């Protein structure tokens, strides 16, 4: 029964976070639509946590290589995403 | 040095809070830079504590992967042209999706090593998995989540690549025509991947079948995205953004990791919100965008609408007209991005402002190829965001505008949306530029926009066509104003 309880706990977190996300981002000015997208996209690169564990754990070769490829893609997503968002936001400034 | 799992989990909690605060910050202009920074900080914390996890013993591949990813990511982020932002975001979405597929796959392979070898192990796995218990085989949660992660991640990956190719205007993609029954075919693809997924859940020793699931998901992503037209791209990008979050969340269920579940669902929710904002701006349902086709057969032909009524103008004539104006509104569209005309627009704005003319920008929510695309472009050219007006703000003022300059936009200024209930864009909110005293349309030809219908605005009494590539046309205009 323990596994089931843990699953329900995870689902609880999932559902609450969905609602939270919905409340957080109700009114976004159009100016910020693109940065919000690229910034939130960088956050979805959180899969990197799983990728690091797969690439670095003590187990079969194949899982390690899959983890390695995942680290590359997730890092690209994270680093590129946060940087390009920062670059874009730097352009939004008052003139003069 | 290894950290205790409790400390790692507390660090993940801190990272989750930083993501929440960061996303909130990103939705307000004053706090956006800080919000992005806090999100990045959260990511850094999550990564560092994961490196100190006691399961992580081999750093060779991690460091190599981090180095390669960082190098390419930095180059892409620094080199990218602002006009190409939609493609870049599509690509990053895709990378997030494939990362989820790979991580879930790796987790599934790792479970194999926990099973005793041979037929005994397989039998044990079958029984325990069917019962939904954890030891010694993989739990039902892990299996179901792995399947979900594989399907959603793969759809995100290939869907994003197709979106990228469309935005990059790779012609081969448009040659893939929608075939009859494609929606049914897509449903069958999804059902097929779900059935194979159920098979893996019942018999987890069949790990190699995971790639069949991912492949079916990948094919589904392709066929879901190829029929979607250019005008609907802002919706698709927002939706894929949401998928990449949901895929990360599913991976969180695979690994029983809360920070993945939280961060993923936050992004999933924000993507859905942007999707619905975009749909509203086009007066189209998400269903119509994904599965519908625009009916362009009805309505008058271009010849009927334009015959004998089009008046073309020159840079010199325009310059004179602008010098007498007091209030000018510029309406940018995708044509501005294609022609890279944002700097020429800035020069025009400065020239007019120096002559005491008020210049504002009317931005339609779906102008360009992604939400907020025009705002980013104009910001790049140093145009103050205070001059950029939203549709609802500027629409009531068009009657007091002397000259509207429409640059590379078409459907978003087509009055048919208000007048013809049978039109494919009927009911779509538009910028009411036809109410201004004079409307100048900078456009390469009279060719229709993505809705595929003629625009009676071009033939209106108060409209003048200024034919040419947006950048070249504006440079000519700027020269004429300086000379005048």
ipTM of the complex: 0.95
Query: Residue B288 pLDDT more than 80?
Result: no
Residues of A in contact with B238 (CB under 8 A): 37
Domain boundaries, chain B: 80-291, 302-483
φ/ψ (deg, to 5) at B65: -65, -45
Q: What is the mean pLDDT of residues B441-452?
A: 84
Q: What is the pLDDT of residue B303?
A: 79
Q: What is the mean pLDDT of residues B23-32?
A: 90
Query: Residue B172 pLDDT more than 90?
Result: no
Q: What is the mean pLDDT of residues B99-116?
A: 85
Query: Residue A22 pLDDT more than 60?
Result: yes
Q: Of the given ranges (B112-126, B259-273, B401-415), which has the lowest mean pLDDT?
A: B112-126
Confidence grade of residue A85 (pLDDT, cut at 50, 70, 90): very high
Q: What is the pLDDT of residue B111?
A: 85
Residues of A in contact with B134 (CB under 8 A): 2-3
pLDDT digits (tens, 9 = 90+) for B85-95: 899 999 999 99
What is the CB neighbour count within 10 angstroms for residue B122? 17
Q: What is the pLDDT of residue A79?
A: 97
Distance, in angstroms, between B19 CA and closest chain A CA?
7
Query: Residue B128 pLDDT more than 70?
Result: no
**B contact residues 2-61, partner A, Cβ 8 Å cutoff:** 12, 19-20, 22-24, 26-29, 32-33, 35-37, 39-40, 42-43, 46-47, 50-51, 53, 55-59, 61
Beta bridge partners of B403: B328, B438
Contact A75 B265 (CB under 8 A): no
Query: Residue B134 pLDDT more than 60?
Result: no
Q: What is the pLDDT of residue B12?
A: 96
CATH 3.90.700.10 is the classification of domain B302-483? no
pLDDT digits (tens, 9 = 90+) for A39-66: 999 999 999 999 999 999 887 888 999 9
Q: Provide the token pair at B244.
A: 């990449």
Q: What is the rounded end-to-end Cα distance, in angstroms, of chain B?
A: 73
What 3-state class would DSSP assign to B301? Answer: coil
- Output the pTM of the full model: 0.86
> Which of B73, B158, B247, B382 is the best substitution to test chain A (most A C-beta atoms within 10 A)?
B73
Q: What is the pLDDT of residue A95?
A: 46
Residues of B in contact with A8 (CB under 8 A): none
Q: Of the given ranges (B203-217, B287-301, B357-371, B432-446), which has the lowest mean pLDDT?
A: B287-301
Q: Of the given ranges (B41-55, B87-101, B280-294, B408-422), which has the lowest mean pLDDT?
A: B280-294
What string of DSSP letters covers B400-450? G-SEEEEES--GGG-THHHH-TTSTTTT-----GGGSSEEEEEESSS---T
Q: Which residues, at least 6 apart from B177, have a Cβ–Cβ distance to it below 8 Å?
A: none
Per-residue burial over B405-439, b if 16 or more Cβ lie within 10 Å, else e, is: bbbbbbbbbbbbbbebeebbbeebbbbbbbbbebb
Query: Cβ distance B266 to A43 under 8 Å?
Result: yes
> Which of A49, A58, A71, A96 is the best substitution to test chain B (most B C-beta atoms within 10 A)?
A49
Q: What is the mean pLDDT of residues B114-136?
A: 55
Looking at every residue in chain B, the average pLDDT score rounds to: 88
Residue in the structure block whose two tokens are 């796995």? B125
Q: Based on the number of CB atoms within 10 Å of its own CB, is B396 exposed (0-12), middle (13-18) or buried (19 or more)?
A: exposed
Q: What is the mean pLDDT of residues B416-424?
A: 84
Q: What is the pLDDT of residue A2?
A: 75
Query: Residue A16 pLDDT more than 90?
Result: yes
**In whole angstroms, how large is the CA radius of gyration of chain B?**
27
Of B24, B255, B266, the CB nearest to A43: B266
């Amino acid at each position: 029964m323990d596994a089931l309880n843990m699953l329900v706990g995870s689902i609880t977190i999932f559902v609450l976070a969905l609602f939270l996300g919905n409340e957080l981002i109700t009114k976004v000015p159009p100016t910020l639509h693109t940065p919000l997208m690229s910034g939130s996209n960088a956050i979805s690169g959180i899969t990197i946590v799983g990728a690091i564990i797969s690439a670095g754990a003590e187990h079969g070769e194949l899982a390690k290589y899959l983890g390695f490829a995942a680290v590359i893609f997730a890092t690209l997503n994270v680093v590129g995403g946060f940087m390009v968002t920062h670059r874009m936001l730097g352009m939004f400034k008052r003139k003069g | 040095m290894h950290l205790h799992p409790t400390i790692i989990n507390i660090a993940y909690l801190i990272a989750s809070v930083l993501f929440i605060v960061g996303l909130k910050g990103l939705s307000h202009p004053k706090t956006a830079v800080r919000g992005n920074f806090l999100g990045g900080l959260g990511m850094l914390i999550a990564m560092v504590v994961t490196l100190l996890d006691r399961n992580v013993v081999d750093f060779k591949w991690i460091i190599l992967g981090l180095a390669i990813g960082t190098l390419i990511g930095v180059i892409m982020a620094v080199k990218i042209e602002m006009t190409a932002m939609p493609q870049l975001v599509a690509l990053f979405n895709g990378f997030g999706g494939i990362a989820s597929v790979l991580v879930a796959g790796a987790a599934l392979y790792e479970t194999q090593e926990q099973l005793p070898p041979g037929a005994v192990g397989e039998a044990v796995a079958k029984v325990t998995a069917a019962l939904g218990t954890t030891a010694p085989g993989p739990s039902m949660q892990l299996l179901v989540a792995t399947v979900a992660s594989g399907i959603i991640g793969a759809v995100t990956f290939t869907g994003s690549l197709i979106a990228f190719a469309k935005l990059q205007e790779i012609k081969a993609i448009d040659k893939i025509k929608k075939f009859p029954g494609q929606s049914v075919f897509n449903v069958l693809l999804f059902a097929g991947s779900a059935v194979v997924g159920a098979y893996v859940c019942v018999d987890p020793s069949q790990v190699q079948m995971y790639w069949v699931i991912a492949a079916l998901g990948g094919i589904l992503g392709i066929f879901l995205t190829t029929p979607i037209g250019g005008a609907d791209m802002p919706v698709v990008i927002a939706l894929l953004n949401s998928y990449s979050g949901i895929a990360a969340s599913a991976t969180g269920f695979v690994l029983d990791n809360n920070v993945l579940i939280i961060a993923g669902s936050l992004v999933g929710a924000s993507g859905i919100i942007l999707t619905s904002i975009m749909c509203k701006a086009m007066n189209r349902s998400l269903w119509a965008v994904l599965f519908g086709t625009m009916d362009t057969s009805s309505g008058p032909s271009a010849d009927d609408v334009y015959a004998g009524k089009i008046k073309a103008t020159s840079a010199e004539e325009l310059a004179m007209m602008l010098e007498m104006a007091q209030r000018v509104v510029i309406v940018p569209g995708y044509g501005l991005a294609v022609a890279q005309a944002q700097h020429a627009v800035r020069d025009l704005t400065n020239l007019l402002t120096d002559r005491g003319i008020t210049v504002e920008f009317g931005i339609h929510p779906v102008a360009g190829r992604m939400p907020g695309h025009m705002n980013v472009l104009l910001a790049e050219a140093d145009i103050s965001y205070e001059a950029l007006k939203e549709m609802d703000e500027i629409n009531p003022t068009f009657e007091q505008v002397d000259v509207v300059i429409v640059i590379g936009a078409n459907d978003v200024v087509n009055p048919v949306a208000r007048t013809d209930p049978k039109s494919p864009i009927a009911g779509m909110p538009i910028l009411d530029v036809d109410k201004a005293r004079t409307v100048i349309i900078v456009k390469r030809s009279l060719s229709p926009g993505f809705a595929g219908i003629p625009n009676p605005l071009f033939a209106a009494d108060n409209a003048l066509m200024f034919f040419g590539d947006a950048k070249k046309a504006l440079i000519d205009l700027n020269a004429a104003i300086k000379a005048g």
